[in-house]
Structure 1
Amino acid sequence: MAHYLDTAQREDIARLRERFTGRTEWPTWLLLLGVYAAWPTLVLVSPSLGVWPTTSLMILLTVLWMSLQHELIHGHPTRWSWLNKCLGYAPLAVWYPYTLYRDTHMQHHRDEHLTVPGMDPESRYLSQLRWAQTAAPMRLLRWLDKTPPGRLVFGVPLALGSLLIGESRRLWHGERQAWAMWATHGFFLVLMFAFIEHYSAFSSVHYLLLVSVPALAISMVRSYYEHRPAEHSHQRTAINEASWPWRWLFLNLNLHLVHHDLPGLAWYHIPIVYREGRAQWVARSGGFLVPGYGELFRRHSFSPIDSPQHPHV
């Protein structure tokens, strides 16, 4: 538990975990059951529901699924990582195998390396050397990626391009873990796409391009200004007081500093802990408080929020 919390705060968190909800983790189990029931149901009813209503609901469900995978990675709803992996392995979001997401995300949680290119696998910043070597068209894309509309449009291609390059290198060098991971992920993708082709009103290509890509783009709204390259590591992570639709889709990860400081805290406990110590969390963040995602769109749709070049590396 975070070292700076006082005794009363530690006791409050311990009590939350000892309550029925904390012990049983029923909210996470309920969401898991809901997603696993809703996804095939949407596929099966899509011929009567219609392609575009189904597509819209599938996008939202896939965003929620990615948030649920994040909870599984952090030890919810069980403390057995192998069981959480089984629960979260379904490739509903297509692009990132669960194992890859788990390993890179846990590396991202080394807070002393947050935002540092080459050390934080989720950093969107480029080192000064890399920036100097970047061609003008790619520099423009990186600048556009620093606006919310640009993140929605270009965030996914940039992320998937980086994924393709990195994983191709691992496969080229014969890393057995990478080959096994992608073979397993590919096998389940084939099964999922076959189910879609047989029962759905749309094709697997439609799902790939018009469900999984928009879902990934929406999830990148959360990460748009989630971290900054501040001097102190605990001031690099944002607190975003987002409205309820975003909080629901992202399972309260908008209160990101609370999550980074207490990574084992369940999604349904994060708002409680934040509300009870809001002033302390804001002070700890160094004032890195965002009043909602809408405010980011209003202020930075035509003005990059910061530079894609890391200021210190």
Structure 2
Amino acid sequence: MSEYFDDAHRRAVERLHASLTGRSEWPTWLLLVTVYGGWFGTLALLGTGAIRLPVATLLLIVLCAWYMSVQHELLHGHPTRSVSVNKLLGYAPLAVWYPYTLYRDSHLMHHRDEDLTMPGIDPESNYVRAERWAQMPSWHRLLWHARKTMIGRLVVGPPMAVCAIFKETMRQCRARDYRYVPMWLAHGTLVGVMLVAIDRWVGMPAWYYLLVVSWPAQSLAMVRSLYEHRAAPTSKARIVINEAGPLMRLLYLNNNYHLVHHDLPRLSWYHLPAVYAMRRREYIEKCGGFRVPGGYAELLSRYAFRPTDAAVHPYAGEASPPEARQR
């Protein structure tokens, strides 16, 4: 399916790319300065006693979650087209748990829309295959059910995601696949240096930053993906349009307009709302009505303790994908 609806749509998007804002990427540069400056500034204020620890903690949680959204923009080619420059801009381990290189590689694999949501293929799938589900102990099934609720995702989402990453890393090492070992060594070294520096600079212990700052930041970041994709017969119907409010849009850098992002992954975050607005009805039709008009507040009210859908993927394991059979 085309990323553009027609020539007029394509020309409108090209004009955005060619605009001064699109060419200079000044909003993304400003965002980088704001997030890094906010992080260092918060720690500096804490160190001088200008703000108290609870206030600093809340600010750091939001800034670290926001930083993960910035990393998402960097891996998609913003604000520069240089992979190396963007990697340098996003390599700092402020959020601790995900090395930039690993996030970049796995997320770009996720953008193969024909494989979206397929467990074992899409690295960001929130589903499991029926045969794996049948072999799971009951406590593991409970965790999967919990992760598909808003409250459960906040609590068990980060540890499940981190455990899955380390499990996959161990599997690679056992298979003598050592390509990511240098990355992990560099990331671990940077995390260690950062935690020691924070402790000596402002007196915040490493355990506090890990458990009280970075862990909740992961939870906040994972709210966005609670119901970002669903199991559906066609690829575009698997991608949500979440009409979130301005604060959440800013936190997630408009990635709530997720179908627009998947259709146009090179489109800068600050152009997503305009592109969605110019073809709102068409985008809603394209995703098969997979739309959340009330934003994340609606998701909280509907799915605080109720799963968004089943953990078992209804199409995984079939001889051919439903979309292929329909063509």
Shorter-chain TM-score bucket reads over 0.9
Separation in structure 1 between the aligned mates of residue 3 and residue 70 of structure 2, nearest angstrom: 27
TM-score w.r.t. the length of structure 1 is 0.97
> How do 1:95-134 and structure 2 match up within 5 A?
95-134=97-136
Give the superposition deviation at 1:184: 0.8
Higher mean displacement: 158-167 or 70-79 = 158-167
Match of 1:66 among 65, 68, 71: 68
Q: What is the rounded CA distance, in whole Å, between the counterparts of 1:212 and 1:40 in structure 2?
A: 15
Task: Give yes or no for contact 1:115–1:124 (8 Å, CA) kept in 2.
Answer: yes
Cα RMSD, aligned residues only: 1.2
**Distance in 2 of aligned mates of 1:243 and 1:124:** 24
How far has the Cα of 1:44 moved from its partner?
1.8
SS of match in other structure, 1:311: coil
How many residues align? The count is 313
- Equivalent position of 1:263 in the other structure: 265
Structure 1 residue 303 displacement after superposition:
2.1
User: Where does residue 287 of structure 2 map in the other structure?
Assistant: 285
Mapped pair 1:294 → 2:306: no
Amino acid at match of 1:299: R
Structure 1 residue 204 displacement after superposition: 1.6
- Distance between the aligned counterparts of 1:60 and 1:301, measured in 2? 21
| Corresponding residue for residue 312 of structure 2 | 309
CA distance in 2, matches of 1:120, 1:289: 22
Give the Cα–Cα distance (whole angstroms) in 2 for the partners of residues 304 and 183 of structure 1.
37
Give the structure 2 partner of residue 135 of structure 1.
Answer: 137
Cross-structure match for 1:89 = 91
Query: Are the aligned partners of 2:3 and 2:263 in contact in 1 as well (CA < 8 Å)?
Result: no
Tell me the amino acid that sits aligned with residue 12 of structure 1.
A
Residue 171 of structure 1 is matched in structure 2 by 173
Counterpart of 1:33? Answer: 33
TM-superposed CA distance for 1:170, in Å, is 2.0
Structure-2 separation of matches of 1:312 and 1:173: 29
Structure 1: gaps of 5 or more residues:
none
| Letter of the structure 1 residue corresponding to residue 35 of structure 2 | V
Q: For 2:19 and 2:134, locate their aligned partners in 1 and report how far apart those are by CA, in whole Å.
A: 54
Alignment pair present for 1:22 and 2:22:
yes
1:139-187: CA deviation from partner (whole Å, max 9, x where unpaired): 1111111111111111111111111211122234443321100011112
Q: TM-score, normalised to structure 2's length?
A: 0.93
Q: Is residue 236–residue 285 contact of structure 1 (8 Å, CA) maintained in 2?
A: yes
- C-alpha distance in 2 between matches for 1:174 and 1:207: 33
What is the rounded CA distance, in whole Å, between the counterparts of 1:220 and 1:51 in structure 2? Answer: 24
Q: Which moved more, 1:28-37 or 1:60-69?
A: 28-37
In 2: Cα distance, 1:3 partner to 1:296 partner: 27
SS in structure 2 at match of 1:143: helix
SS at match of 1:268: helix
Distance in 2 between residues matched to 1:300 and 1:183, nearest whole Å: 39
Residue 4 of structure 1 deviates from its aligned partner by 4.1
Amino acid aligned to 2:296: Y
Percent identity (aligned): 49
The separation in 2 between residues aligned to 1:194 and 1:30, in whole angstroms, is 28
Partners of 2:154 and 2:223 within 8 A in 1: yes
| Letter matched to residue 66 of structure 1 | M
Contact 1:43 1:201 in 2 (8 A): no
Structure 2: unaligned runs, 5 residues or longer: 317-327
CA deviation after TM superposition for structure 1 residue 312, in Å: 1.2
Q: 2:152·2:305 contact (CA, 8 Å) conserved in 1?
A: no
Query: Stretches of 4+ moved more than 6 A in 1?
Result: none
Asked whether the equivalents of residues 46 and 201 of structure 1 are also in contact (C-alpha less than 8 Å), the reply is no
Once the two structures are TM-superposed, the CA of residue 58 in structure 1 deviates from its matched residue by: 0.2
